[in-house]
Amino acid sequence: MNIHIRGDHHLDVTQALKQYVEKKVGRMERYLEASQVHDVSVTMSVTRGIHTVEVMVPLGQAMLRAEERSDDMYASVDLVMDKLEKQLEKYRHRAGQKVGHRLKVEGFKAKEGPRVSVTDEQLEEDEADVVRVKRFDMKPMYVSEAILQMDLLGHDFFVFANAEDEKTSVVYRRRDGQFGLIQSL
């Protein structure tokens, strides 16, 4: 497992902090098969005394992401790893139930596929209403896979290309806890 650790332009990551993160992230291997995770991205920042740690773990078609903030960087690492371990447990449980028509699971191994790549872009000032744009590759997936991905990311909605008709669709969590689906014509 390759662990990519970087600090923002205000933070130099010390060797001790790198070792601490590597040790904590290395604990995830007990939840995963060796071939399942290749690269883990850890980003650290400090803003006004608040220490933030974001970790992104690509798992085949799914992407686990967790972010935590605290007054201490080591505490933020601990908090974010606790959150990731809960997400991994949820992923294992759902994958074990064979959620989705095409999501094949052998033990805890998810089907390999293209990963979603997300980039943030600040827009020019003349477009005042839109403050951020996210661009990503939409890989065709079934509704149940999109719901799993939405849950893993901790979002209330997820935009995806529906594998059944290759059209853009959105799954969302309703107020009653159920899921909704919006399909394009």
Residue ranges per structural domain of the chain: 2-96, 119-183
DSSP 8-state secondary structure symbol assigned to residue 29: G
- pLDDT (0 to 100) of residue 171: 93
Instruction: Read off the pTM.
Output: 0.55
- pLDDT (0 to 100) of residue 34: 53
- pLDDT (0 to 100) of residue 97: 58
Ordered DSSP codes for 137-161: ---EE-HHHHHHHHHHHT-SEEEEE
Q: For the residues 119-136, what does the mean pLDDT come to?
A: 54
pLDDT tens-digit series, residues 68-108: 999 999 999 999 999 988 888 877 776 665 444 333 333 33
Q: How many Å apart are CA 98 and CA 102, to the nearest integer? A: 9
pLDDT tens-digit series, residues 37-46: 678 889 999 8
The domain 119-183 having CATH identifier 3.40.50.620: the answer here is: no
Place domain 2-96 in its CATH homologous superfamily: Ribosome hibernation promotion factor-like (3.30.160.100)
